[in-house]
Amino acid sequence: MSARKPTLALIGATGAVGTVMRDIISSREDVYGEIKLVASARSAGKVLQVRGEDLVVQELTPEVFDGVDIAIFDVPDEVSATWVPIAAERGAVVIDKSGTFRMDPDVPLVVPEVNPEAARNRPRNIISTPNCTTLSMMAAMGALHEQYGLRELVVASYQAVSGAGVAGSARLYDEVEALAGDRTVGQTAGDVRKAIQNKLGDDESPFPAPVAFNVVPWAGSLKDGGWASEELKLRNESRKILGIDDLKVSATCVRVPVITTHSLAVHARFEREITVADAHRILEAAPTVVVMDDPAAGVFPTPADVVGTDPTYVGRIRQALDFPNTLDLFVCGDNLRKGAALNAAEIAELVAAEFAG
């Protein structure tokens, strides 16, 4: 392949992740030739900016992929199911953010810090990027796994509403506006629900319960055994990314009233004894991880303090008192950046480097 700058297409350019994706592409090293913005017919014709250029959003058609080298898809699962194979057959290397192909054995699931080599082995011309909850901890857990051998994960999530897209953020802003100023709300059963209903009527929420002044232990769709799809993704995707087929994982996924940045409380058992000092050393050396762990000085990561930035933040690292070879820790990562757009952009850069080669 002669060296050239590949043509990039962003499919789903107008969504929550698409917006962040345009920012990220604009602020990182420019490794692309032409860039195309693509969306549904409803959004086609809009003018949006990338790299300081005004671009007209094109409608998603088979022909839009002509001449495209790399296509990043951020669209619902069913749209990916139809359109990703079309783009891949027309010759684009597809980086797909949906859940559709993640567990396909012929599709690599890539976190560039953890398994970059997997991106080169793509028989279907498709590379998947993980669920945002899984991604929130992967850079950190991958670094620890490499040296100490991860065996078990028990995870509880504190997931931001923008994980459900633009509608998720809008809903939390709406609910907070509906409830603000009432200093009795949240004190009797159902009062939050009733106050929201009074102000917002039957506006549809992407969540199955109020999310303001509340936490909601549900994310995704119902699977066997009462598991939520998001919880099984965290298990199955962690196994595939880390290459540990028998990794033991239990997760409980909970939505919290945070706009953006997922947090995870992680209980992680390793093959070998690992101290807090070991974990600090490894995580401080990991290029995309930031350790915020000095509780005596009030230093630990919170979503409000790290949102909008790229790294995975780790704090509250403790050696479990009763479990051998086990750490308890708290991780925060921006679900729209590392959790979605940034990881896809990093994969695209891995592929773009092949064109430069």
Q: Which residues are known catalytic residues?
A: 132, 262
Beta bridge partners of residue 319, listed in sequence order: 327
Q: How far is 125 from 91, CA to CA, in rounded Å?
A: 8
Interaction residues for its own copies, span 109-128 (CB under 8 A): none
| Secondary-structure percent of the chain, ordered helix, strand, coil, rounded to 5 | 35, 20, 40
Stretch that binds its own copies, among 43-51, 129-137, 140-148, 309-317 (CB under 8 A): 309-317
322 three-class SS: coil
Is 219 assigned to a binding site?
A: no
Which CB, 201 or 298, lies closer to its own copies? 298
Is 163 assigned to a binding site?
A: yes
CA distances, 345 to each of 52, 53, 87, 218 (Å)? 17, 18, 18, 29
In the bound complex, what is the minimum distance in angstroms from residue 114's beta carbon to its own copies? 20
Q: Name which position in 67, 200, 318, 354 contacts its own copies (CB under 8 A).
A: 318
277 three-class SS: helix
Q: Does 10 bind its own copies (CB under 8 A)?
A: no
Is 229 assigned to a binding site?
A: no
Q: Does 295 bind its own copies (CB under 8 A)?
A: yes
Which CB, 28 or 316, lies closer to its own copies? 316
Interaction residues for its own copies, span 174-233 (CB under 8 A): 176-177, 179-181, 183, 185-193, 208-210, 213-218, 222, 225-228
Interaction residues for its own copies, span 133-172 (CB under 8 A): 152, 154, 156, 158, 170
Q: How far is 355 from 357, CA to CA, in rounded Å?
A: 5
Is 19 assigned to a binding site?
A: no
Q: Please answer whether residues 153 and 163 qualify as being in contact, where contact means their C-beta atoms are separated by less than 8 angstroms.
A: no
Which CB, 36 or 102, lies closer to its own copies? 102
Query: Per-residue DSSP letters for 70-120?
Result: EEEE-S-HHHHHHHHHHHHHTTPEEEE-SSSSTT-TTS-B--TTT-GGGGG
Pairing mode, strands 53-56 and 47-50 = antiparallel
Is 43 assigned to a binding site?
A: yes
Is 91 assigned to a binding site?
A: no
Interaction residues for its own copies, span 81-110 (CB under 8 A): none
At 289, which amino acid appears?
A: V
In the bound complex, what is the minimum distance in angstroms from residue 140's beta carbon to its own copies? 15
- What strands, in cross-sheet order, belong to the sheet with 126-128? 58-59, 35-39, 8-11, 70-73, 93-96, 126-128
Q: Does 248 bind its own copies (CB under 8 A)?
A: yes
4 three-class SS: coil
Stretch that binds its own copies, among 52-60, 99-107, 139-147, 241-249 (CB under 8 A): 241-249
Q: Tell me the backbone φ, ψ of residue 315, rounded to 5 degrees.
A: -150, -170
Which CB, 92 or 306, lies closer to its own copies? 306
In the bound complex, what is the minimum distance in angstroms from residue 110's beta carbon to its own copies? 24
Is 14 assigned to a binding site?
A: yes
The tokens describing 103, both together, are 């567990």
Interaction residues for its own copies, span 250-289 (CB under 8 A): 250-252, 254, 256-260, 263, 265, 267, 276
In the bound complex, what is the minimum distance in angstroms from residue 145's beta carbon to its own copies? 16
Q: How far is 271 from 222, CA to CA, in rounded Å?
A: 33
Q: How far is 153 from 112, CA to CA, in rounded Å?
A: 21
Residues placed in the known binding site: 14-17, 42-43, 102, 159, 162-163, 255, 335
Residues placed in the known binding site for substrate: 159, 255
